[in-house]
Structure 1
């Protein structure tokens, strides 16, 4: 039986146990006030109507048990009946308020997730000579709406990519992600150089971000035989060569996250990475490498490189995502976005 099914039957099971115990104990001990546990438990997970029904069942059990205990019409039993009615009424009110708040929360989540799906458009599975695989794993329910973002666009200047992670969560993070994606989609077509795209993003965020908020990100541009990377304080990508070697691509000159550009004396510089036929590059957010198991150990991405060798890039990324979820043993504490690029031979 599922947990939800157990909760549905719990009020009746408790009242049945009280009735049996009262009969077996005899008239000397009074267990009838414990019948109020039925409507109390019903109000936790049931509807208003269900709580009322459980309260009526409690009253229906109370009357014959009171007669069995020779308490019918005595003040003790009258007090028990008043208590059952009062607890049922309070439970119905509590259930009504709980259901209303659950509906309101569900509506807010639906609107926010719909907005996030609009922002995070499906990426093309093929761009020029690239195969692109995507995985986006939502966090636990209380942090479901996050600020991870990604985009792949084919421009006159080549295939350009963005992956990033907004500081914070919720609607505010989604709003910031919208600014970043909107600025990138426009600048990626207009600017001939990748560092100029970065400058446009920085300028856009400087107008909209306040305080110490920031966005870690990697911008990429694919060329013949190589890929240009510009790292704004983001976890380094993982380059998987066709020869089997896997290397974390650490930038020689790491930049500050977007939004903190005014604090840096120099703008970050692009760096070139060989990217030939058969090579793969995995770009990911920190929700991947910061996921912990029950013992507190971080996800060992470097030890899972073999999962990314499957012939189909999407199958490879799906296998890595499944392994990540197994590592945590449940929902992730933070969103985890991954882009796997495969250069066809």
Structure 2
């Protein structure tokens, strides 16, 4: 049995101090951390309990967006009236992301920091560059169907990012607020998660001993509709084979703005900027959506068991754009 120290923090300053200089991990909902500690994949020498930190509010910003505290539970965020009205894509992503029992515990910051579901990473013995840098990637030649990516992969890692919430936030536009020994700073959400490249063990932009305090969402786009489509092997709680977060704004039937992000197929929450640009000015038709889907999946690299994800993702994109455009028109049928 591995032993570890436990510290309970009452504020961000004491949390950062307790974490500093230790092989430590912050403990919030624990839905990922405790799992990986039990598997001996994560081996912290200290757990810093941050459940008493006062970052549990959802507030409207001066810019018209929302500021979400790091400790806001997924259930509270999904059920918030402002989120359901102005950020439907986020509420839907959260509700499809886990069982209610998990949503009741999982936090906003913990979801941002969620780690991959790759079986080779989690088994503790297989070569895995994310767990043991330089050891190799067993998934490339192994079983690579369900939770493995076709976008943003490298010769060192092909694990897909697992979060549904993060895909929605990537589409909306967001900023991650962090604090640490050097003070407070912000990171654009699209820059927070790193591509694996040749350093897949470096998963995010959070610095040593830094702590996420809040995530702020951009203001909703006027006249837009949004939705989250998640395709999986079963309809009950499971990670996405392919998912799509779409936001569409219309002037008549002409697209004036589009936001598109993908899950289940990327090594990070995948914003399809080229596809978005191609949609602006186009009529909101199935043909335009199919073209955008093809653009979004350009450059995808299939592996032995997950090549089906490329056409599957295209279908998710077309369906999500169709539904988001319908909502923008006020068609709720």
Per the normalisation by structure 2, the TM-score is: 0.24
Q: Which protein has the larger Cα radius of gyration, Structure 1 or Structure 2?
A: 1
More helix by share: 1
Per the normalisation by structure 1, the TM-score is: 0.24
